[in-house]
């Protein structure tokens, strides 16, 4: 399809010595793609490769009473049955590598399954079919608990607790805030002066990234007591650090190879496969593959989470938006993964690319018994943009304005102060709207046709932080009670969404005891063939000191913080 | 010990003999048994087309083909397309940027190759029909259709 270069726009702003943009340049990986030789993670052959399949919870919310793997252990081809007790540090949150949030997700669930598809037992067998058959022989006795699948029901009083480290079903920021807040000017004053006040609710669905290559990883013993891991991950070092933490090994012992991803779209960052494949290799001494089948990719693979938005705008009869109030609920699913961070990005983006004098937003990261959500293209932005832009269409329609003109009128321009208190620069919305109007055959009013992003921005109040910004009903920008992991704060009034905690939490997380690091066993036939170099049998490493004794449930229950990248702190 | 079955077939023009498990699918046999990694696993249930190969001239899904059933037949994959130089379909895929992640590409190439052998000057609708069983999540369909049209010596648009 021909690309149209609109060099007339911002012509004097741009150095036009672009020597790549605007002309086709062949991708470096194209020959690999058209010859079928691009090395996806699964395109590495190993002799004696064995396979992992997982037993998964069929319930949205259930307590595990008993796991009986005795029949599965005796099934043909089964090399090892793995449960949470085999995982050295069986609790993690993805952003713990950046000290952001509490560990809230086990690699294999031991006591509680908070979403349908939560993995409980992993079986390593010679063939995939044998692993599947053995999975079918595992008996898990569940006590089914009430579940909640709606964000607002999840934060209503007496809702089932989805994610125990966060008993209010809300992520906690900085140890004390249960939402992200944006305040700019005084929306109530804005609504009072507005000619039209319109409020609507918007709801989007979770969206599966659905890459053609399902998520997976292959691990194998390597020399020098290391492990190689071929993976489909989009975040190689992120997955490396996560695996090092869950397995409690130095990241220097993990050799990750990736970079060829069969479609990611954000959904290949969750690092579920690498740790389990490596653990399988540690426990069996064999090369091990853990790959989602298509059904798992769709049911268990983390989607873009759904969002619900309530948006209220105050608009003048001439089309100027004077106030926008947003309340947003991100459905994180059962655990945090990356949703907490998506909201930070989202709030920095509000109220979209518009200059509005009064803006107010509260955005919540809510846990429900759905599949945990994760990143996807424009993560944190897409759902709210859909809602804001849908709302602007509704408002334009109700005011009898052309929706493109309505956007040009309110578009931000260079020099305008944005609601999160940064000056807008390199704006281009007006020009984009003008081109869209031209393509759509919409005749713009002459003054809108003449407007430009680089003129008139920042004039007067447009460029200023408002003199007055309204605070909460409690007189501060505040929102969470104590007893959170931040601990020490004084109790503060709870806002309307917060209900008392059912049980006191430990003021500070305790460092959990760890299961012993699994030692590689002498390999039966660990010799990879094909593209991978021949590898010697893994040697046993010294057993080391026994782990500190500590009741097992303390280990499972205590959220812990982990504050270094790639596990440096604990080496 | 599970009983293995010997099978013999022609793989990209050369004879191959392998032992397969009962019920094993051709995709696994090609990838693990023969070591031809060009057909891909996308679903294992016949919905995505990433595993498309040509069996005795017709495009087939390797994941749904029982390996035992190809005894004596000819199986072609992308590994056999380029004989010293790229085939016209491969060239056209390159020229039209008809691959992004590349995971669907092997299957697309085999569907397109089978079509053009049968029908050297297909209409656009026939091209669309021929690749309708091949999903591309990176949504390069237009580029792929253009590539197939070009490979048939016709105008891409
Ligand atoms: S893997 Fe065969 S159709 Fe998807
Ligand atoms: S190029 Fe990625 S699925 Fe088609």
Q: Report the first-to-last Cα separation within chain A, whole angstroms.
A: 54
* Residue A488, pLDDT above cutoff 90: no
* Residue A8 in domain: no
Residues A403, A348, single domain; the answer is: yes
Compute the distance between CA of residue A233 and CA of residue A274 in angstroms, rounded to an integer. 9
Task: Show which of A415, A435, A463 is a domain's final residue.
Answer: A463
The pLDDT tens digits of the residues spanning A173-187 come to 988 889 999 999 999
Give yes or no: residues A193 and A227 share one domain. no
Say if residue A427 is in the same domain as residue A350.
Answer: yes
Is A375 a member of any domain?
yes
A547 lines ligand 2 (CB under 6 A): no
**Which residues from B are below 8 Å from A37, CB to CB?**
38
Query: Do the beta carbons of residue A307 and residue A201 sit within 8 Å?
Result: no
Q: Which of B102, B105, B110 to mutate to probe the A interface, most A CBs <10 Å? A: B102
Q: Determine the pLDDT at residue A516.
A: 55
Using the beta-carbon criterion (under 8 Å), do B42 and A214 form an inter-chain contact? yes
Measure B152 CA to nearest chain A CA, in Å.
17
Second-level CATH architecture of B88-151: Orthogonal Bundle (1.10)
Residue ranges around ligand 1 (CB below 6 Å): B 41-44, 46-51, 61, 63
The protein residue whose alpha carbon is closest to atom 4 in ligand 2 is B136
Q: Is the confidence at residue A481, as pLDDT, over 50?
A: no
Residue A549 has pLDDT above 90, yes or no: no
CB nearest to A262's CB, from B2, B101, B135: B101
Domain-ending residue, one of A404, A434, A463: A463
Q: Which of A42-56, A400-414, A479-493 has the lowest mean pLDDT?
A: A479-493
Residues A250 and A375 in one domain: no
* Interchain CB distance below 8 Å, A214 and B39: no
Ligand 2 centroid, distance to A265 Cα (angstroms): 11
Residue located via tokens 């309708």: B132
Answer whether residue A345 is part of any domain.
yes
H or E, element range at A230? strand A227-231
Q: How far is the CA of B113 from the centre of ligand 2 (A)?
A: 18
> What is the CATH classification number for the domain harbouring A230?
3.90.1170.50
Is residue A31 situated within a structural domain? no
- Do the strands A358-367 and A321-333 form a parallel or antiparallel pair, or are they unpaired? parallel
The domain segmentation of chain B, as residue ranges, is 4-80, 88-151
Instruction: Give B54→chain A minimum CA distance, Å.
Output: 15
Percentage of chain B lying above the pLDDT 70 cut: 98
Say how many C-beta atoms besides its own lie within 10 A of residue A542's C-beta.
Answer: 6
pLDDT value of residue A3: 67
Residues in contact with A424: Cβ distance below 8 Å, sequence separation at least 6, in sequence order = A355, A412, A413, A414, A415, A416, A417, A418, A457
Q: Cβ distance B67 to B27 under 8 Å?
A: no
Cα-based torsion angle of the residue sequence A260, A263, A266, A267 in order, rounded to the nearest 10 degrees:
-100
Q: How many CB pairs under 8 A join A and B?
A: 99
Task: Tell which atom from ligand 2 comes closest to the C-alpha of A33.
Answer: 1
Beta strand residue intervals within A129-195, DSSP E: 139-144, 180-184
In this structure, the dihedral spanned by the alpha carbons of residues B63, B66, B67 and B73, taken in order and rounded to 10 degrees, is: -100
Q: Which residues contact A463 (CB under 8 A, 6 or more apart)?
A: A415, A416, A417, A423, A457
Q: What pLDDT does A519 receive?
A: 53
| Interface mutation target, options B33, B37, B39, B144, chain A, most CBs of A under 10 Å | B37
The answer to whether residue A283 is domain-embedded is yes
Residues of A in contact with B42 (CB under 8 A): 212-214, 294
Q: Quick one: B128 exposed, middle or buried, by C-beta within 10 A (0-12, 13-18, 19+)?
A: middle
Atom of ligand 1 nearest to the CA of B47: 3
* Higher local confidence (pLDDT), A531 or A423: A423
Please tell me if residue B99 touches chain A, with a CB cutoff of 8 Å.
yes
Q: Which of A35, A43, A293 comes nearest B44 by C-beta?
A: A293
Among chain A residues, CA nearest to B33: A45
Distance A257 CA to ligand 2 centre (A): 21
CATH number of the domain encompassing residue A199:
3.30.365.10
Q: Which atom of ligand 1 is nearest to the CA of B64?
A: 2
Decide if A24 touches B, using CB distance below 8 A: yes
A208 interaction partners in chain B (CB closer than 8 Å): none
A191 and A106 in one domain?
Answer: no
> What's the CA gap between A292 and A290, in Å, rounded?
7
Which CA distances in Å does A54 have to A78, A324, A333?
Answer: 13, 47, 20
Position A565 scores a pLDDT of: 33
Q: Where are the alpha helices (DSSP H) in A364-472?
A: 382-399, 403-410, 429-440, 446-450
Shared domain check, A263 and A140:
yes
Q: CB of A329 within 8 A of CB of A204? A: no
Residues A109-119: tens digit of each pLDDT: 999 999 999 99
pLDDT exceeds cutoff 60 at A557: no
- The predicted model gives A262-286 an average pLDDT of 97
Residue A255 resides in a domain:
yes
The fourth-level CATH superfamily of domain B4-80 is Beta-grasp domain (3.10.20.30)
Residue A487 in this model has a pLDDT that exceeds 50 = no
Q: Is residue A555 part of a domain?
A: no
- Please give the backbone phi and psi of residue A450, each rounded to the nearest 5 degrees, phi first: -90, -15
Question: Residue range B131-157: average pLDDT?
Answer: 93
Q: Touching check for B21 and chain A: CB below 8 Å?
A: yes
Q: Return d(Cα A567, Cα A146) in angstroms, integer.
A: 37
What is d(CA B95, CA B89) in angstroms, rounded to the nearest whole number? 10
List beta partners, residue A331.
Answer: A366
pLDDT in tens, B57-109: 999 999 999 999 999 999 999 999 988 899 999 999 999 999 999 999 999 99
Asked whether the beta carbons of A190 and A323 are under 8 A apart, the reply is: yes
Number of neighbours of residue B75 by Cβ within 10 angstroms: 25
- For residue A34, what is the nearest residue in chain B, using CA coordinates? B90
- Mention every residue, 6+ apart, whose C-beta is less than 8 A from residue A466: A184, A185, A186, A357, A358
Contacts A233 to B, Cβ<8 Å: none
C-alpha distances in angstroms, A175 versus A209, A332, A342, A487?
A: 31, 18, 17, 7
In Å, the largest CA–CA distance within chain A is 80
Is there a contact between A169 and A155 (Cβ–Cβ < 8 Å)? yes
Instruction: Find the domain containing A389 and state its range.
Output: 168-206+304-463
Domains held by chain A: number? 2
In the predicted model, what is the mean pLDDT of residues A245-273? 96
- A170: tokens are 């809300």
A34–B35 CB contact, under 8 Å: no
CA–CA min distance B99, chain A (Å): 7
The answer to whether residue A241 is domain-embedded is yes
What mean pLDDT do residues A476-501 have? Answer: 39
- A472 touches B at CB < 8 Å: no
| pLDDT tens-digit series, residues A342-385 | 999 999 999 999 999 999 999 999 999 999 999 999 989 999 99
Based on the fold, state whether residues A380 and A292 are members of the same structural domain: no
* A212 part of contact set with chain B, CB < 8 Å: yes
Q: Hey, is the C-beta of A1 within 8 angstroms of any chain B C-beta? A: yes
User: Which of A 32-61 lie inside 8 A of B, CB atoms?
Assistant: 32-38, 40, 42-43, 45, 49
Taken in order A36, A41, A46, A52, the sign of the CA dihedral is negative
Checking if the pLDDT of A529 tops 50, the result is: no
B97 touches chain A (CB under 8 A): yes
Sorting pLDDT into bands at 50, 70 and 90, what band is A2?
Answer: low
For A296, name the nearest residue in chain B, comparing CA atoms only: B43
Chain B residues in contact with A212 by the CB 8 A cut-off are 40, 42, 48, 50, 101, 103-104, 135-138
- pLDDT tens profile A125-159: 999 999 999 999 999 999 999 999 999 999 999 99
| Structure token digits, residue A485 | 């992991």
A290: which chain B residues are within 8 Å (Cβ-Cβ)? none
Which segments of chain B does DSSP mark as H helices, in order?
26-28, 88-95, 105-118, 124-130, 141-151
Do residues B89 and B57 touch, judged by C-beta distance below 8 A?
A: no
pLDDT at residue A569 tops 60: no
Q: What is the pLDDT of residue B2?
A: 67
pLDDT tens across A412-467, in order? 999 999 998 999 999 999 999 999 999 999 999 999 999 999 999 999 999 999 98
Co-location of A380 and A448 in the same domain? yes
Distance A287 CA to ligand 2 centre (A): 28
Of A238, A235, A227, A241, nearest in space to A277 by CA: A227
% of chain A beyond a pLDDT of 90: 75
């Amino acid at each position: 399809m021909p690309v149209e270069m609109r060099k007339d726009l911002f012509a004097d702003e741009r150095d036009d010595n672009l020597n790549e943009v605007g002309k086709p340049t062949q991708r470096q990986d194209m020959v690999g793609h058209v010859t079928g030789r691009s090395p996806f993670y699964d395109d590495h052959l190993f002799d004696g490769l064995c396979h992992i399949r997982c037993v998964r919870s069929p319930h949205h919310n259930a307590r595990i009473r008993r796991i009986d793997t005795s029949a599965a252990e005796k099934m043909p081809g089964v090399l090892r049955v793995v449960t949470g007790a085999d995982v050295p540090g069986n609790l993690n949150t993805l952003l713990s590598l950046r000290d952001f949030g509490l560990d809230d997700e086990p690699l294999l669930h031991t006591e509680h399954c908070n979403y349908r598809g939560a993995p409980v037992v992993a079986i390593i067998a010679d063939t995939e079919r044998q692993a599947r058959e053995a999975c079918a022989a595992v008996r898990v006795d569940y006590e089914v608990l009430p579940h909640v699948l709606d964000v607002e029901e999840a934060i209503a009083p007496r809702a089932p607790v989805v994610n125990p480290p966060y008993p209010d079903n809300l992520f906690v920021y900085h140890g004390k805030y249960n939402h992200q807040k944006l305040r700019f000017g005084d929306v109530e004053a804005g609504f009072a002066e507005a000619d039209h006040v319109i409020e609507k609710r918007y709801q989007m669905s979770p969206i599966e990234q659905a890459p053609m290559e399902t998520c997976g990883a292959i691990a194998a013993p390597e020399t020098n007591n290391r492990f190689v891991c071929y993976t489909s991950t989009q975040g190689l070092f992120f997955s490396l650090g996560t695996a090092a933490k869950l397995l409690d090994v130095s990241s220097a012992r993990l050799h990750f190879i990736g970079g060829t991803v069969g479609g990611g779209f954000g959904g290949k960052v969750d690092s579920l496969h690498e740790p389990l494949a490596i653990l399988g290799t540690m426990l069996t001494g064999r090369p091990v593959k853990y790959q989602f089948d298509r059904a798992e990719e769709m049911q268990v693979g983390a989607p873009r989470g759904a969002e619900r938005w309530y948006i209220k705008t105050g608009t003048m009869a001439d089309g100027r938006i004077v106030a926008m109030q947003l309340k947003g609920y991100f459905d994180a699913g059962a655990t945090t993964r990356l949703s907490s961070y998506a909201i930070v990005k989202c709030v920095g983006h509000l109220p979209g690319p518009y200059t509005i004098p009064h803006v107010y937003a509260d955005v919540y990261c809510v846990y429900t018994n759905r599949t945990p959500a994760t990143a996807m293209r424009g993560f944190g932005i897409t759902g709210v943009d859909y809602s804001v832009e849908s709302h602007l269409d509704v408002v334009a329609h109700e005011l009898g304005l052309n929706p493109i003109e309505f956007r040009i009128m309110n578009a931000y321009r260079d020099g305008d102060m944005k609601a999160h208190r940064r000056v807008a620069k390199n704006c281009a919305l007006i020009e984009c709207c003008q081109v869209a109007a031209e393509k759509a055959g919409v005749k713009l009013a002459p003054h809108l046709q003449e407007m430009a992003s680089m003129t008139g921005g920042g004039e007067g109040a447009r460029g200023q932080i408002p003199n007055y910004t309204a605070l909460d009903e409690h007189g501060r920008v505040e929102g969470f009670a104590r007893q959170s992991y931040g601990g020490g704060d004084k109790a503060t009034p709870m806002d309307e969404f917060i209900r008392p905690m059912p049980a006191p939490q430990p003021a500070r997380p305790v460092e959990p005891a760890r299961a012993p690091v699994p030692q590689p066993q002498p390999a039966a036939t660990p010799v990879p063939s094909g593209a991978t170099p021949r590898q010697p049998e893994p040697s046993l490493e010294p057993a080391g000191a026994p782990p500190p004794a500590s009741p097992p449930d303390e280990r499972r229950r205590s959220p812990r913080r982990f504050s270094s990248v790639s596990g440096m702190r604990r080496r | 010990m599970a009983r293995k079955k010997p099978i013999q077939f022609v793989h990209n023009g050369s004879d191959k003999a392998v032992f397969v498990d009962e019920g094993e699918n051709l995709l696994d046999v090609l990838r693990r048994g023969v070591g031809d990694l060009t057909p891909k696993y996308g679903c294992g249930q016949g919905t995505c087309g990433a595993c498309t190969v040509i069996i005795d001239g017709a495009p087939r899904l390797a994941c749904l083909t029982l390996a035992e059933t190809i005894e004596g037949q000819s199986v072609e994959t992308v590994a056999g397309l380029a004989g010293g130089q790229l085939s016209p379909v491969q060239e056209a895929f390159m020229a039209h940027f008809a691959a992004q992640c590349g995971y669907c590409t092997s299957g697309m190439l085999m569907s397109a190759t089978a079509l053009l052998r049968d029908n050297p000057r297909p209409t656009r609708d026939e091209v669309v029909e021929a690749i309708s069983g091949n999903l591309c999540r990176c949504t390069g369909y237009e580029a792929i259709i253009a590539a197939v049209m070009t490979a048939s010596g016709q105008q891409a648009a």
